[in-house]
Amino acid sequence: MSAEKTETLANGNTHTLSLLVENKFGVLQRVAGLFSRRGYNIESLTVGPTENEAYSRMTIVVRLEEKPVEHVVRQVQKLVPVVEVRELKPHDFVERELMLIKIKTPEKNHAELRAIADTYEAQIVDVSPDALMIEATGTAAKLDALEERLGAYGIQELCRSGRIALERGFKTLAPPTIK
């Protein structure tokens, strides 16, 4: 695939992978190690519990320069504790990310910032005389926009959770054998 072709894709050449893994010691290391040794760039990686305590779910956003995403999927599938892995197709999943952002600003600006936060359905979660913290959730694009908007006020610290995602509709990742 030429560089031109990949850049015209809606998502660039990033892909969102959803993994169901056994909830065992060292699984994160196995997955992260595979990505690093095969040269797959991780944009974000989240891991957390699922409805079944035996399994965890990972959402990995991977950026690929040349290799097709199927290569990544097949390599990840070979890891023994990985029960299932799938690329979530663009527009066929709901994605969310959480951001906490701390702004150093005199109290007189707080009302203005509160208005901006409202526009993005974000909340003020901590206030002190010369700083405040905003919590926002949404798609990465929305958080990017908010981040840019707040940049003018001087961002002190920022923390983003990375993407979590679920496929739309009734489909699930878990194979029938473990349901």
Residues near other proteins (CB under 8 A) are 21-22, 25-26, 29-30, 33-34, 37, 70-71, 74-75, 77-84, 175, 177-178
Residue 72: phi, psi to the nearest 5? -65, -45
Question: Shortest gap between Cβ of 130 and other proteins (angstroms)?
Answer: 42
Tell me whether residue 40 or residue 120 sits nearer to other proteins (CB atom): 40
Query: Least CB distance from residue 2 to other proteins, whole Å?
Result: 14
The end-to-end CA distance of the chain, in Å, is: 38
Give the Cα separation of 86 and 82 in Å (integer).
Answer: 11
Q: Which is nearer to other proteins, 8 or 29 (CB)?
A: 29
Q: What are the backbone angles phi and psi of residue 31, rounded to the nearest 5°? A: -70, -50
CB closer to other proteins out of 41 and 77? 77
In the complex, least distance from residue 156 CB atom to other proteins, rounded to whole angstroms: 35
Decide: helix, strand or coil at residue 161: coil
Q: How wide is the angle at C-alpha 67 spanned by C-alphas 63 and 68, nearest 5°? A: 90
Q: Which residue has the tokens 């690929």?
A: 64
Q: How far is the CB of 45 from other proteins (least distance, A)?
A: 17
Contact 136, 122 (CB under 8 A): yes
| Nearest approach, Cβ of residue 56 and other proteins (Å) | 12
CB of 4 or CB of 70, closer to other proteins? 70
